[in-house]
Amino acid sequence: MSVDPAPERADDAPATPPRPGWWLFQGTGDRIAPAERDRRWPPPPPWRTFQGGPVLPAPVDDEPETVRRLGAVPSRVLDPAQISVVNAAIYLRRPLLVTGRPGVGKSSLAYLIARELQLGRVLRWPVTSRTTLRAGLYDYDAIGRAQAVAPFRSAAGSRWHGRSRGEDSADAGGSGRGGPGVAPIGDFIQLGPLGTALLPHRLPRVLLIDEMDKGDFDLPNDLLNILEDGEFGIAELARMRQQGADVGVRTADPDGTAVVRDGTVRCHAFPIIVITSNGEREFSAAFLRRCARLDIPDLDTRRLTELVAAHFPADASGYQDLIARFEQRRQQVGGLAADQLLNAAHLAATGAADGDETVWNDLLEAVWHQLAPAADMR
């Protein structure tokens, strides 16, 4: 198997083993040149090829959000086996189901992939107990549409009565473009994060489906057809298919718009979907079969050090004692989230650790509080 040469490192840094040549995602956070990325982008398996169009250009990055999530210098917290799983999901065009305790970097992985492969802004779909599949796909503002149409309907009077139920009475000929002075139907349709990810982009969008185990029991299975087919229909536009109408709709990107052809959103490049789970529930075999699975354990000393260095690059060497105390406290309370360490590091940087040692110790206990009742600790 071919390998890429390891990058040069400082003399005091540990040697980096050669990286497998098939890896596209390296796990470093270092941006790949677009031309190199395009040259090396792997073709999909024949059974995961999609033909959506017209093909859309790549979206712009959201650098402030990326830095907020990853730090100024992204930490390298994945080991080679984990990086291989991420690459396998990319090659196979399958969602990546990432499990682990809170704070180990599950959500950050989506931002690391998007940054390194330069795939633009990450689409985020946070899941709650009330989340439905429809909410992830699109929203139709039926009330707003009715209010916009009402004045024109009244003014037109009897001209409205001859239309068939199959036509949109706000449109001229059901085109979706709207009659004179009437906003087109697409102005009242907004794609959700999943719906936007399934638009026919030239390169895949990165979609973070966060905390799937918080959702309704049926939600993972509701996703199965979408994950398999890479497309979905918008019922409100279905009546316009016979006219072959292209309708502009809003997307989940800021000020974003896209054209939906024949009432169906169909992907061109299947999105890179990162689904996170805290391990609080079991998923069906049908759902798991469609995912690549990655488990991220609690971060060890080296990875905690790299995490702190990503957010506090100028002072990272001064946090070794704090990291050691964090690991000791983590053992005592049965697990802490890595962001609790970052909270303490930020307080230390403000000078909170420079005063009375007893006060500092009490503050650390408050920041590093137990996350679950003792009966729930695993």
Of 10-19, 75-84, 273-282, 310-319, the poorest mean pLDDT is in 10-19
Of 83-97, 179-193, 208-222, 263-277, the poorest mean pLDDT is in 179-193
Of 161-175, 177-191, 293-307, the poorest mean pLDDT is in 161-175
- Banded model confidence at residue 178, pLDDT cuts 50, 70, 90: low
- Banded model confidence at residue 359, pLDDT cuts 50, 70, 90: very high
pLDDT at 60: 87
Of 27-36, 50-59, 70-79, 100-109, the poorest mean pLDDT is in 70-79
Per DSSP bridges, beta strands 257-261 and 138-140 are unpaired
pLDDT at 154: 61
Q: Is 265 helix (H, G, I), strand (E, B) or coil?
A: strand
And the tokens for 319? 């946090």
Burial bucket for residue 151 (CB in 10 Å: 0-12, 13-18, 19+): exposed
Asked if the 45-297 domain carries CATH number 3.30.1360.120, the reply is no
Q: Is 248 helix (H, G, I), strand (E, B) or coil?
A: strand
Candidates 188, 190, 186, 177; CA nearest to 143 is 188
Mean pLDDT of 146-157: 68
More confident residue, 251 or 240: 251
Q: How far is CA 249 from CA 166, 178, 196, in A?
A: 21, 13, 10
Supply φ then ψ for residue 48, to 5 degrees: -125, 30
| Residue 373 clears pLDDT 60, i.e. is over it | no
- Banded model confidence at residue 166, pLDDT cuts 50, 70, 90: very low
| Residue 4 clears pLDDT 60, i.e. is over it | no
Residues paired with 97 in a beta bridge: 275, 293
pTM of the model: 0.84
Helix axes 106-117, 63-70, angle to 10 degrees: 130
| Residue 315 clears pLDDT 90, i.e. is over it | no
Of 143-147, 232-236, 243-247, the poorest mean pLDDT is in 243-247
pLDDT at 319: 87
| Residue 77 clears pLDDT 90, i.e. is over it | no
| Residue 162 clears pLDDT 90, i.e. is over it | no
Question: What mean pLDDT is reported for the chain?
Answer: 85
- Banded model confidence at residue 177, pLDDT cuts 50, 70, 90: low
Mean pLDDT of 134-141: 95
Of 14-18, 44-48, 269-273, 324-328, the poorest mean pLDDT is in 14-18
Beta strands in the chain (DSSP E): 3-4, 19-20, 96-99, 123-126, 138-140, 189-191, 206-210, 231-233, 246-250, 257-261, 264-266, 272-277, 292-295
| Residue matched to tokens 């970097």 | 105
More confident residue, 16 or 66: 66
Q: How far, in Å, CA of 124 to CA of 103, rounded?
A: 17
pLDDT at 316: 62
Q: 372: how many CB neighbours lie within 10 A of its CB?
A: 13
- The most distant pair of C-alpha atoms in the chain lies apart, rounded to whole Å, by 84
| Residue 17 clears pLDDT 60, i.e. is over it | yes
Q: How far, in Å, CA of 104 to CA of 137, rounded?
A: 28
Mean pLDDT of 244-256: 89
Domain boundaries, the chain: 45-297, 301-369
H or E element at residue 226: helix 224-229
Burial bucket for residue 344 (CB in 10 Å: 0-12, 13-18, 19+): buried
Q: How far is CA 164 from CA 40, 113, 134, 174, 242, in A?
A: 53, 50, 28, 10, 14
pLDDT at 152: 61
Of 95-109, 185-199, 267-281, 299-313, the poorest mean pLDDT is in 299-313
**Quick one: three-class SS letters along 62-95?**
CHHHHHHHHCCCCCCCCCHHHHHHHHHHHHHCCC
Please provide the distance, in angstroms rounded to a whole number, between the alpha carbons at the two ends of the chain: 40
Task: Kindly calculate the radius of gyration of the chain based on its CA atoms and give it in whole angstroms.
Answer: 25
Contacts of 136 (CB under 8 A, 6+ apart): 125, 192, 193, 194, 195, 209
Per-residue DSSP letter, 247: E
| Residue 375 clears pLDDT 80, i.e. is over it | no
| Full DSSP string of 93-116 | T--EEEE-STTSSHHHHHHHHHHH
